[in-house]
Amino acid sequence: MSLNPGSNKMYNDLRQMYWWSGIKCDISEFESRSLICQQVKVEHQVPSGLLQPVMIPEWKWVKVTMDFVSWLPLSLKKKDANWVTVDRLTKSAHFITEALGTRLHFSTAFHPQTDGQPERVIQILEDMFRCCVLEFEGNWEKYLSLVKFAYNNSFQSSIKMAPYEVLYGHKCRTPLYWTELSKKKVHGVDLICETEEKVKVIRDNLKAASDRQKSYAYLKRKEIEFQVGDRVFLKVSPWKKVIRFGHKRKLSPRFIGLFEITERIGPVAYRLALSSELEKIYNVFHLFMLRRYRSDPSHVISPMDVEIQPDMT
């Protein structure tokens, strides 16, 4: 019975020889409580957990997102990576940063999903580097300042204006505007007022964009909750490159456990009581990584061998 191909197929096989009242429901219940099935069967369901939009900052450069773009061609100064920092409010980006005493807020283990902002900026950055290298026949580092200016002076759909327009009250002048320049203007209190008004506008625009993303995401997600003390299985497919669980490669189980939930961290994250073999793993997981355990008196759960690579951090 451990090799059953699913409740529907099992029902069609058994009904040729057996029948009783409620046979289909009993077979479905048996299959859902099978310990082996809970560990190895894939879930053909929409992802668990509703979208949790990131809070909109109150002011410029209060909250930033960071990521790295690496494996770039080696520059003349022997550099092959870039650290990308993006302001969450204005979408203004810096491609070289300094240590400023920031506090880090990580995404959950093996579920690195926030709002995708740095990944999107990195994609744009790489495309702009490719254009510079092809157009000017030089290395990417030489045009880093030009790329930064072009990005920050371009229209952003989520805030409905350019990042420089929010930071400085207007877009920076490019050579296209040189013929329009006349006497210099002194900006004072008016600039501050304009900036404050623009911050209010972009916060409203970001709220509208966030609501639109939620409406799309809710169509393909389901809401689920666990309680402290519940026991769950843990999805292991994202870990296969760093951890081996007994059987290797394709025959390794999709879920391991059982683990007890010790704390709820926010709407969609939970802290688990991991075994000593997994003590190096960050023990907070998105509920997408969890499968509810369906108990049965016949279950005998034996410990599973876990091998962790020594260079894992």
**58 versus 234: which is more confidently predicted?**
234
Task: Check whether residue 237 and residue 213 sit in a common domain.
Answer: no
Structural domain contains residue 18: no
Structural domain contains residue 313: no
pLDDT value at residue 262: 92
**214 versus 182: which is more confidently predicted?**
214
- If one counts every other C-beta atom within 10 angstroms of the C-beta of residue 147, the result is 20
- DSSP SS3 for 106: coil
CATH number at residue 167: 3.30.420
- pLDDT at position 270 over 50: yes
User: What are the C-alpha distances in Å from 135 to residues 31, 110, 128, 153, 308?
Assistant: 61, 39, 10, 20, 47
- If one counts every other C-beta atom within 10 angstroms of the C-beta of residue 35, the result is 18
Structural domain contains residue 182: yes
**250 versus 178: which is more confidently predicted?**
250
**Which residue type is seen at 263?**
E
**74 versus 105: which is more confidently predicted?**
74
DSSP category for residue 242: T
- DSSP SS3 for 140: helix
**69 lies in which domain range?**
64-218
Confidence of residue 292 (pLDDT cuts 50, 70, 90): confident
Task: Check whether residue 257 and residue 162 sit in a common domain.
Answer: no
Structural domain contains residue 36: no
Output the six-digit token pair for 128: 């702009």
Task: Check whether residue 209 and residue 100 sit in a common domain.
Answer: yes
Structural domain contains residue 7: no
Task: Check whether residue 208 and residue 246 sit in a common domain.
Answer: no
Task: Check whether residue 96 and residue 213 sit in a common domain.
Answer: yes
Structural domain contains residue 244: yes
| CA distance from start to end of the chain | 40
- Going by their DSSP bridges, the two strands 255-265 and 231-235 should be labelled as antiparallel
- DSSP SS3 for 86: strand
Task: Check whether residue 211 and residue 73 sit in a common domain.
Answer: yes
Structural domain contains residue 33: no
* pLDDT digits 0-9 by tens, 8-26: 777 777 777 877 788 778 7
pLDDT value at residue 274: 86
Task: Check whether residue 159 and residue 259 sit in a common domain.
Answer: no
Domain boundary pick from 218, 253, 279: 218
pLDDT value at residue 244: 53
* pLDDT digits 0-9 by tens, 84-136: 888 877 777 777 644 444 555 555 555 555 556 667 777 877 787 777 777 77
- Going by their DSSP bridges, the two strands 93-94 and 82-87 should be labelled as antiparallel
Domain boundary pick from 150, 183, 218: 218
Task: Check whether residue 249 and residue 107 sit in a common domain.
Answer: no
Domain boundary pick from 202, 218, 234: 218
Share of the chain above pLDDT 70, in %: 61
CATH number at residue 276: 2.30.30
Task: Check whether residue 78 and residue 148 sit in a common domain.
Answer: yes
Contact call for residues 270 and 9 (beta carbons, < 8 A): no
Contact call for residues 261 and 279 (beta carbons, < 8 A): no
Helix (H) or strand (E) holding 37, with range, is helix 35-40
* pLDDT digits 0-9 by tens, 168-181: 766 776 655 544 54
Task: Check whether residue 211 and residue 76 sit in a common domain.
Answer: yes
145-167 average pLDDT score: 79
Q: How much is the mean pLDDT over the chain?
A: 71
CA dihedral 149, 150, 155, 157 (to 10 degrees): -100
Q: What total number of domains does the chain contain?
A: 2
Task: Check whether residue 237 and residue 102 sit in a common domain.
Answer: no
Structural domain contains residue 286: yes
* pLDDT digits 0-9 by tens, 31-45: 777 766 666 666 666
- pLDDT at position 234 over 80: yes
Task: Check whether residue 243 and residue 210 sit in a common domain.
Answer: no
